[in-house]
């Protein structure tokens, strides 16, 4: 394996695979990489025309090439096909951003949680994420010429540690991603592929839209020390930095992107 000279802009020509790319965070991340000339593989289960519009927007923003992948992360049988499609259209995958995820189908007392709701969340947030990552890391380990920094970024949540009894299935799934980051970091360390756990706090997204008024009130009352919501662009700025190759020795690191919410206070 040989590592070629890295350009001043490590993202120019870098191939970045983003799951859940049509959502608030995913789209912001994709646009940020596009503006730096990266090649993007964007996967989501939204309508194909929505992905098509996203592709056009990313190309207009400066992306080198864009590969559209329409599918459901829970469909683990499709994962290998997706990786092959990216290889054919864009070449080697340099960065995987595991952003796709779903919230609790219904916020309610955990005594009311059904096996169906539990499985629906776990199938995407944990099972789908694990097996897609398995396919991508296999491809990464087979690469011969390394022209760009490589990394895996898991977008989990402060719910790894912060419990919400009305969405137990979501919290459990995100806690599993915290352990997945550790496992991946250990497995990929000798290949110099760092793995990071990006944990958004209260962030504007489709998932938080139904409880926006509640969170507005909590933020106004001081729940978030920085005093505002997180935005997709906040997460994009962090993802760009983590994928730059400059944090390789920090593999397994957790980034609390929550405005100070989880800092213990008296």
Give the separation between CA 136 and CA 83, rounded to whole angstroms: 7
Mean pLDDT of 139-146: 95
Q: Does the CA dihedral 51-56-58-63 come out positive or negative?
A: positive
Give the separation between CA 248 and CA 85, rounded to whole angstroms: 28
* 243 within 8 A of 149, measured Cβ to Cβ: yes
Q: What percent of the chain lies above the pLDDT cut of 70? A: 97
* 98-139 per-position pLDDT tens digit: 999 999 999 999 999 999 999 999 999 999 999 999 999 999
User: Cβ atoms within 10 A of the Cβ of 104, count?
Assistant: 21
Instruction: Quote the distance between the C-alpha of residue 134 and its chain's center.
Output: 15
Q: Model confidence at 1, in pLDDT bands (50, 70, 90)?
A: very low
User: Cβ atoms within 10 A of the Cβ of 138, count?
Assistant: 11
Instruction: Quote the distance between the C-alpha of residue 95 and its chain's center.
Output: 10
Q: Which residue has the tokens 């897609």?
A: 132
Whether 215 sits among the annotated catalytic residues: the reply is no
Closest CA to 258 of 220, 201, 189: 201
Q: Model confidence at 209, in pLDDT bands (50, 70, 90)?
A: confident
Identify any residues that bridge with 154 across adjacent strands, giving them in sequence order: 98, 197
Q: Between the CA of residue 133 and those of 14, 41, 85, what are the distances in Å?
A: 18, 14, 15
Mean pLDDT of 32-61: 97
CATH of domain 9-257: 3.40.50.720
Quote the pTM value.
0.94
Q: Please tell me the predicted confidence (pLDDT) of residue 206.
A: 83
For the chain, the average pLDDT equals 95
* 146-161 per-position pLDDT tens digit: 999 999 999 999 999 9
* Domain residue limits, the chain: 9-257
Catalytic residue among 170, 201, 205, 238: 170
């Amino acid at each position: 394996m040989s590592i070629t000279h890295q350009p001043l802009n490590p993202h120019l020509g870098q191939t970045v695979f983003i799951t859940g790319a049509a959502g608030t965070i995913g789209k912001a991340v994709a646009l940020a990489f596009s503006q730096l000339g990266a090649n993007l593989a964007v996967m989501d289960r939204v309508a194909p025309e929505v992905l098509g519009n996203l592709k056009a927007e990313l190309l207009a923003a400066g992306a080198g090439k864009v590969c559209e992948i329409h599918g459901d992360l829970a469909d683990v049988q499709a994962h290998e096909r997706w990786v092959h499609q990216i290889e054919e259209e864009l070449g080697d995958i340099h960065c995987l951003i595991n952003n796709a995820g779903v919230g609790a189908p219904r916020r309610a007392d955990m005594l009311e949680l059904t096996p169906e709701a539990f499985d629906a969340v776990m199938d995407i947030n944990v099972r789908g994420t694990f097996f897609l990552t398995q396919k991508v890391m296999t491809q990464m380990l087979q690469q011969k010429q390394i022209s760009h920094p490589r990394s895996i970024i898991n977008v989990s949540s402060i719910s790894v540690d912060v419990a919400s009894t009305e969405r137990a299935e979501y919290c459990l799934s995100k806690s599993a991603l915290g352990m997945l980051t550790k496992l991946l970091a250990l497995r990929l360390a000798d290949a110099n592929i760092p793995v990071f756990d990006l944990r958004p706090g209260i962030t504007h997204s489709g998932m938080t839209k139904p409880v926006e008024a509640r969170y507005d009130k909590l933020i106004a009352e001081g729940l978030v020390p920085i005093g505002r919501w997180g935005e997709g662009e906040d997460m994009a700025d962090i993802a760009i930095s983590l994928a730059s190759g400059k944090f390789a020795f920090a593999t397994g690191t957790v980034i609390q992107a929550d405005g100070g919410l989880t800092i213990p206070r008296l």
